Structure 1
Amino acid sequence: MFVQRTAAVVARRAAFAAPAVARRAFSTSMLRLEAKTEDKKVESFKTLSQIRTVDDLFGPGAQDGTTPTDIDQSTGIERLEILGKLEGKDIFDMTPLDSSRKGTMENPIIVKSGGDEQYAGCTGSPADSHVVLWLGMSRERPIERCPECGSVYKMEYIGPEDHGHDHHHHDGPEEPKTMADYIKPEYRYI
């Protein structure tokens, strides 16, 4: 009976043991992959100060046989943000707006924008006095007042200069009217 149990244990172990040939082929292929990637040189990328045109915002892509990183494959505005972070610069200025005071017509809270339109969320003063109310500002209408707390926000355009081109013309549908469109202009910014 002892011999029967021993034979059964040996048979079970033999069934689950991997053949030695498979282990050797696997380790050899890993060595070949490492040897292939060591021969390649790493291509450098342009820094934020070297970006001059839109064509400079295309990454080099990944080397053959490698997995791309964000710096390898990012393009456009995402690449600009990553290059800025590598140099310690906040391209999009994500710091919160000043909520220690209420903006007035004489001293509004400034919201910088690189585009024609900008949205700002007002939570009141002091912060979190009311729910977030989103205020839309544009280059044509840069000042907006919060209907809940009365705080005034002003959009400051910091984008590229217009070189005689009319970028404000939109072919889309007309913007919906609000009650603010029906008040007298002289009452708008009191």
Structure 2
Amino acid sequence: MFLQRSAIAVARRAAVAPALRRSLATTAVRRDAVPDASKIKGIHEVKTSADLLGPGTPAGQVPSDVEQSTGLERLEILGKMEGVDVFDMRPLDASRRGTVSNPIPVRSAGVEQFAGCTGYPADSHNVIWLTMTRERPLERCPECGSVYKMEYVGPQDDHHGHDHHHGFEEPKSFADLVKPEYY
């Protein structure tokens, strides 16, 4: 009885094992595949959003990120290929406490920017997210008192950033009742 059970188990393993070995052994990996550099534009050649479409790959090939990415992702990849940090992902200056006369600068290309304050000295409190806008560029952390200032680096004639023509009004809060000189 014991021999019958072990013989059946060995037969099952033998039937399954060659299929597993064969399927893993036939997997091919192309390590020498390099995208054609003549099809790929550099970050300095990007002028319009149409330039942020990848060239794609021929049928039957697996595309790389450089070949298939589009939009902002493609802009970031092209920047990294040339050593440019497109989105300025460096951490904010945490070596000092920002004051109203000398705030910690936060660069932004949009109409508003979020910044996470971890306190001074660094990591002295949990992250508190602060929102700065073009109309109200200074923001003070309620926990440690550090002041941050948004420096707008986007296009100056951007008419899409104004919320007034859409009828949007920022919600009223206690922060709106604080005098601007106390910011």
TM over 0.5: yes
User: Displacement, 1:68?
Assistant: 1.0
In the alignment, what sits opposite 1:56? 51
**Deviation, structure 1 residue 182:** 1.2
Pair 1:109-2:104 in alignment: yes
Match of 2:118 among 102, 120, 123: 123
User: In structure 2, how many angstroms separate the alpha carbons of the residues matched to 1:172 and 1:64?
Assistant: 49
Q: CA deviation at 1:173?
A: 5.4
Cα offset for 1:175? 3.1
SS in structure 2 of the partner of residue 80 of structure 1: helix
Aligned pair count reads: 155
Say which SS state the counterpart of residue 134 (structure 1) adopts.
strand
**Offset of residue 169 of structure 1:** 2.0
Q: Measure, in 2, the Cα distance between the counterparts of 1:111 and 1:162.
A: 20
Distance apart, 1:93 and its partner CA? 1.0
Question: Pick from 54, 58, 68: which aligns with 2:63?
Answer: 68
- Whichever residue aligns with residue 179 of structure 1, its letter is F
Displacement after TM superposition at 1:102 (Å): 0.3
Provide structure 2 residue ranges, at least 5 long, that are not aligned to the other structure.
1-10, 16-21, 29-34
Q: Which residue in the other structure is 2:161 paired with?
A: 167
Displacement of 1:174 in angstroms is: 3.8
Moved over 4 A (4+): none
- Higher mean alpha-carbon deviation, 47-56 vs 103-112, is at 47-56
CA distance in 2 between partners of 1:172 and 1:113 (Å) = 24
| Residue-by-residue CA offset, 1:117-141 (whole Å, 9 max, x unaligned) | 1000001111001111000000010
SS at match of 2:170: coil
Are residues 172 and 78 of structure 1, via their aligned partners in 2, closer, same or farther at CA, if it must alter by over 3 Å? farther
Is residue 183 of structure 2 the alignment partner of residue 155 of structure 1?
no
Aligned identity (percent) is 61
Measured on the aligned residues, the alpha-carbon RMSD in Å equals: 2.7
Which one has the largest radius of gyration?
Answer: 1
